[in-house]
Amino acid sequence: MKKIFAIILSAMLLLSMTACGGGGEKEAETIKVGILGPHTGELAVYGLAVRYGAEMYFKQVNDAGGVNGKMIEVVNYDDQGDATMAVTGFTSLVDDGIVALVGEVTTGNCRAVVDEAYPINMPMVTASATATSITYDEETKTVFKNVFRTCFIDAYQGSKMADFASKELGAKKAAVLYLSGDDYTQGLAEAFEAQCKEMGVEVVAKEAFSKGDKDFNAQLTTIMAANPDVVFLPNYYEDDGMIVTQARALGIKCTLLGGDGWAGIEKYASAADLAGCYYASAYAAGSTAELKAFEEAFVAAYGEDYLNMFAATAYDAAMVVVEGLKAAEAKGAKAGEEDYKQAVIDGIDQNAGNVKGITSPSGYKFDEYNNPEKDVVIMTIKDVEGVPTPTYHMNY
Amino acid sequence: MSTLSLIIKQIINALQLGSIFALIALGYSMVYGIIRLLNFAHCDIIMVGAYISWYFMTNFANMPYLAVAAAIFGCTLLGVAIEKVAYTPLRGSPRISLLITAIGVSYLLENTAQLWLGAAAKSVPPFFKVTTLSFMGLSVSTTSVVTIAVVTVSMTALTLLVQKTKMGRAMRAVSEDSQTAQLMGTNINATISFTFAIGSALAGIGSVLYCCAYNQASPTMGSMLGLKAFVAAVLGGIGSIPGAIVGGFVIGLTEVFVSSIGLSTWKDAVVFLILIIVLLVKPTGLLGKQVNEKV
């Protein structure tokens, strides 16, 4: 009895699916793009930032005449931040006939969606999931070629800071002091070291410390003896604040560099000690004219509550998606067919360099692991009447 | 930087770190000496001292002396209060009850601080302008100089207090045999409270020096610091004042040596390895006395 019931149910499901598919073909005038994320619940502030940021760009494209004369139709799905619902939502969006997806928002849920999206080669661009596992499965050595992102992975800042130190600061010798046993800090330290080697910068000292350490004088003295031009501190602001203070007290006068873990460091070290240091960041509000224009338009449309970094990277994600759609349309592929999805993916792969993103005016390039090579915001700290003030330095 | 000046600089680092350990180890040792209690709440008294420094330095930044005085006074008061409230009622009980109470007080202080002031660290403004002094091609921060100087003075004062004053004699007597001391007319309660007061005042000084060197106060800052000071006290011979000083400096030297040869992540392991070796080989510590328990 149960079996028969199950067969009937699945038959009905199949029918409804084909019905949906048929509906999609009838409305061939629009291109459907899905946005998946937590639009309610405690993660809504990120989910809605992504949704509104992406919607805003799609709307602008439509206002300008769409892609190849076709309007983009956004299909939203609220997964409430739950991994199971994210997968259900993705399936439902696919049934709705989407050709590309913006999302998911959090790393864990995004990974769950990737598992579903990779087998059907659905192009997806996430604006916020930073883990390496989103585009690369270490166990099976698989690169998920259909998955892109517009936020950089953590370790990327390490190599960018090495570039910056070498090209902009003219550093010849660098030192690193990092927290061992932490993926974030270790990843940044390794990327920095690798890029230094690439740029011909000698890493004269690489020192570590353990979680909870407060005294860094021994390591800093070793670093000081090696006489580096820059010291890279890829740790969190509380530790780095203490390290900066101790380094200056010891007499280390060279430029100190950090990653985005430095955000908030101004509360943990003095202006005199921090002045002239640089750190990487993903986003600096109002730093460029394009970003300012975006922020004003965003606030006018959706209010201030959801204006954060992810709104900006989602706006860029939508740009990347549209770049892919343009390529697919130019090829004359038909929505709903395998060719179309592949054309979108190829389009993103080849043309994302043309995307003048608001968080990356120099465009997007995706490496062999499909991680983006994009601009990093370099922040510097200025001594404004004794108050350490993080200030936008440049897009790099 | 030449190898020699590098070595000298690392030794100064070790002295700075070791002197803070020594100061805290003294608190452990003195209390253990007098009532055979491992006062695990001692390290959290330092935490409270650091928060007092933070409060006064952020609100009355131009009066660092006030902050120093408040931290030392606050710690002293807290130490005596803990002794009166938590330990005195248990004086006749088995030592294990006292030990558990001490751990309880430690957690109480830590969690109260966390609840009240939040888990994030507070940045303590500098007490004085830190500059780098240099002589003979060697640069030393004023923080190191001040720390080493203050600890030397405190230790000398403590040694004089214990060896030369009446109260010091009472302390030594109570530590040797409290019942006999009482028969001889020593006020035991006052002596024990005084010992807690002195130990906690040292913790107060330690907290100020800690804030000078590491400029942050956080609810759990005392735990690792306390454990290492405890290892220092055991290494030197718990109950012995010169032992605590020697132990503190040995631990400081060890940490800096291990870090400077590039094994910084093994530092904590080495310190606790020392504890294990001491307990196996010479449980009385370097300067501890072998006490024969008489029945």
At residue A131 the predicted structure's pLDDT band, cuts being 50, 70 and 90, is confident
At residue B21 the predicted structure's pLDDT band, cuts being 50, 70 and 90, is very high
By residue count, chain B amounts to: 295
Interface test with A, best of B12, B19, B216 (most A CBs within 10 A): B216
User: CB within 8 A of A97, min separation 6: which ones?
Assistant: A20, A21, A23, A24, A32, A335, A336
User: Residue B141 and residue A251: Cβ atoms within 8 Å?
Assistant: yes
Q: How many CB pairs under 8 A join A and B?
A: 89
User: Residue A249 and residue B255: Cβ atoms within 8 Å?
Assistant: no
User: Residue A218 and residue B256: Cβ atoms within 8 Å?
Assistant: yes
* Backbone φ and ψ of A97, nearest 5°: 95, 30
Residue pair A176/A231 in contact (Cβ under 8 Å)? The answer is yes
User: Residue A269 and residue B143: Cβ atoms within 8 Å?
Assistant: no
Which of B1, B256, B268 minimises the CB distance to A225? B1
| Integer Cα distance of A2 and A204 in angstroms | 71
Q: Mind telling me how many Å the CA of B265 is from chain A's nearest CA?
A: 5
3 state DSSP class of B83: helix
- Bridge partners of residue A149, in order along the sequence: A126
Chain A residues near residue B134 by CB distance under 8 angstroms: 251
What are the pLDDT digits (tens) for A326-377? Answer: 999 888 888 778 889 999 999 998 888 888 889 888 889 898 888 988 888 8
Lookup: tokens for A230: 């820059």
Rounded to a whole number of angstroms, the CA Rg of chain A reads 23
A2-152+288-363 CATH fold? Rossmann fold (3.40.50)
Chain A residues near residue B10 by CB distance under 8 angstroms: 218, 221
Torsion of CA A56, A60, A65, A69, to 10 degrees: -40
| Integer Cα distance of A100 and A242 in angstroms | 46
**Long-range Cβ contact pairs of A20-28 (< 8 A, separation 24 or more):** A20/A95, A20/A96, A20/A97, A21/A95, A21/A97, A21/A336, A23/A97, A24/A96, A24/A97, A24/A335, A24/A336, A25/A336, A27/A73, A28/A335
Torsion of CA B200, B205, B207, B212, to 10 degrees: 180
CATH top-level class for A156-281+377-395? alpha beta
Which of A218, A248, A269 minimises the CB distance to B10? A218
Among chain A residues, the shortest Cα distance to B140 is held by A250
User: Residue B17 and residue A227: Cβ atoms within 8 Å?
Assistant: no
Residue A101: name the closest of A111, A112, A113 by CA.
A113
ipTM for the whole complex: 0.84
Looking at residue B109, its pLDDT comes to: 95
For the ranges A25-34, A48-57, A152-161, A343-352, which has the lowest average pLDDT? A25-34
User: Residue B130 and residue A227: Cβ atoms within 8 Å?
Assistant: no
Q: Mind telling me how many Å the CA of A43 is from chain B's nearest CA?
A: 22
| Integer Cα distance of B140 and B11 in angstroms | 11
Find the distance separating the first CA and the last CA of chain B, reported in whole Å.
61
User: Residue B260 and residue A208: Cβ atoms within 8 Å?
Assistant: no
Sign of the torsion formed by the C-alpha atoms of B160, B164, B168 and B174:
positive
- Cβ count within 10 A of residue B273: 13
What are the pLDDT digits (tens) for A149-204? Answer: 999 888 899 999 999 999 999 999 999 999 998 888 998 999 999 999 999 999 99
Across the range B162-178, mean pLDDT stands at 90
What are the pLDDT digits (tens) for A280-328? Answer: 988 888 888 889 999 999 999 998 888 888 999 999 999 999 999 999 9
A156-281+377-395 matches A2-152+288-363 in CATH topology: yes
Considering only residues A249 and B290, tell me which one the structure prediction assigns the higher pLDDT. A249
CB-facing half-sphere around the CA of A234: CA atoms within 13 A:
29
Across the range B71-96, mean pLDDT stands at 92
Interface test with B, best of A173, A217, A244 (most B CBs within 10 A): A217
Q: Mind telling me how many Å the CA of B128 is from chain A's nearest CA?
A: 12
3 state DSSP class of A77: strand
Residue pair A359/A139 in contact (Cβ under 8 Å)? The answer is no
Is the pLDDT reported for residue B1 higher than 70?
no
The whole-chain average pLDDT of chain A stands at 88
Which of B16, B216, B259 minimises the CB distance to A268? B216
User: Residue B265 and residue A219: Cβ atoms within 8 Å?
Assistant: no
pTM as predicted: 0.81
Q: Which residues in A165-180 are b (16+ Cβ under 10 Å) and which e?
A: bbeebebebbbbbbbe
What are the pLDDT digits (tens) for B208-233? Answer: 999 988 889 999 898 899 999 999 99
The single-letter code of the amino acid at A380 is: T
| Integer Cα distance of A198 and A196 in angstroms | 5
Torsion of CA B117, B121, B124, B125, to 10 degrees: -120
Angle, helices B267-281/B221-236, rounded to nearest 10 degrees? 30
| Integer Cα distance of B246 and B236 in angstroms | 6
DSSP category for residue B86? I
Domain locations along chain A: 2-152+288-363, 156-281+377-395
Residue B86: name the closest of B193, B229, B227 by CA.
B193
The single-letter code of the amino acid at A142 is: T
For the ranges A16-20, A267-271, A287-291, which has the lowest average pLDDT? A16-20
- Cβ count within 10 A of residue B80: 19
Chain B residues near residue A250 by CB distance under 8 angstroms: 132, 139, 141
